[in-house]
């Protein structure tokens, strides 16, 4: 009986890349201890894409990382697997700049759908990073104030969700982009510094910074409803 194939080992470009991926995974696990992530790396390529879905925000979160070399134990093949975020986090060795890819898991529905790879165009006139941070903080403050105004018996999950849905679904200006997108980027640690782009491709919109991206499909009530399956 042949031995099982060894797990792929990712070699990040440096310790900083490994630490950034670990931080991203840690945030996902904070929101969902059973979180899964989809990993993609092209054959012979030197970049890894990590996709996750923090349940509180109804968006796809994307973190990319530079690889020193594609990866061991499968260097000629593309990598496209869904794994436990917690197990991957445990395997990250920041000192060595490596991570061992854990066993695949049965992916949640979102893991089978991804935003398009191409066709993205920048949305002109969108607020900058500082303005977006201010908008998110104002929305958070409003949420807290409205919750405090509720009678104790009205502070149910349904009541809180209703307030949140109303606030986070508001458009940023007249862009058709909900505040939820900026809120997710800020909460995941992506909305730092001064560089931010908001891109659109068809019904999809993506907020991108040097620290990561968040994406959703516009025109659906839950942000990710009505997604189409994109070939790997």
pLDDT in tens, the chain (232 residues): 555 667 888 999 999 999 999 999 999 999 999 999 999 988 777 889 999 999 878 899 999 999 987 666 655 678 899 999 999 999 999 999 999 999 999 878 888 888 988 899 998 888 999 999 999 999 999 999 999 999 888 889 899 989 999 999 999 987 888 999 999 999 999 999 999 999 999 889 999 999 999 999 876 544 444 332 222 2
CA distances from 171 to 12, 128, 135, 182 (A): 38, 15, 11, 11
3-class SS of residue 205: strand
Q: Which CATH architecture has domain 9-109?
A: Roll (3.10)
Cβ neighbours for 39, distance < 8 A, ≥ 6 positions apart: 48, 49, 50, 51, 79, 80, 81, 82, 83, 88, 101
Q: What is the pTM of this model?
A: 0.86
127 CB-contact burial (10 Å; exposed 0-12 / middle 13-18 / buried 19+): middle
Asked if 36 and 105 touch (Cβ cutoff 8 Å), the reply is: yes
CA atoms in the 13 A half-sphere facing the CB of 151: 2
Spell out the domain ranges in the chain: 9-109, 121-217
């Amino acid at each position: 009986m042949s031995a099982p194939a060894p797990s792929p080992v990712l070699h990040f470009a440096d310790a900083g890349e490994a630490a950034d991926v670990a931080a991203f995974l840690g945030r996902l696990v904070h929101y969902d201890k059973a979180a899964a992530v989809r990993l993609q790396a092209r054959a012979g390529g030197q970049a890894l894409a990590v996709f996750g879905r923090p349940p509180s925000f109804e968006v796809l979160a994307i973190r990319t990382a530079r690889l020193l070399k594609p990866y061991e134990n499968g260097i000629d093949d593309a990598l496209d697997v869904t794994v436990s975020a917690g197990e991957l986090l445990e395997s990250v060795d920041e000192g060595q700049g490596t991570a061992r890819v854990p066993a695949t898991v049965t992916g949640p529905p979102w893991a089978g759908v991804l935003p398009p790879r191409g066709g993205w165009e920048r949305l002109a006139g969108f607020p900058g990073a500082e303005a977006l941070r201010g908008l998110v903080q104002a929305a958070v403050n409003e949420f807290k104030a409205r919750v405090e105004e509720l009678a104790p018996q009205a502070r149910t999950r349904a009541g809180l969700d209703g307030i949140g849905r109303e606030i986070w679904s508001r458009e940023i200006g007249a862009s058709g982009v909900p505040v939820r997108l900026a809120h997710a980027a800020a909460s995941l640690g992506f909305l730092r510094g001064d560089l931010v782009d908001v891109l659109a491709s068809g019904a999809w919109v993506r907020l991108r910074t040097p620290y990561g991206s968040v994406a959703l499909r516009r025109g659906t009530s839950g942000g990710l409803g009505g997604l189409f399956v994109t070939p790997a």
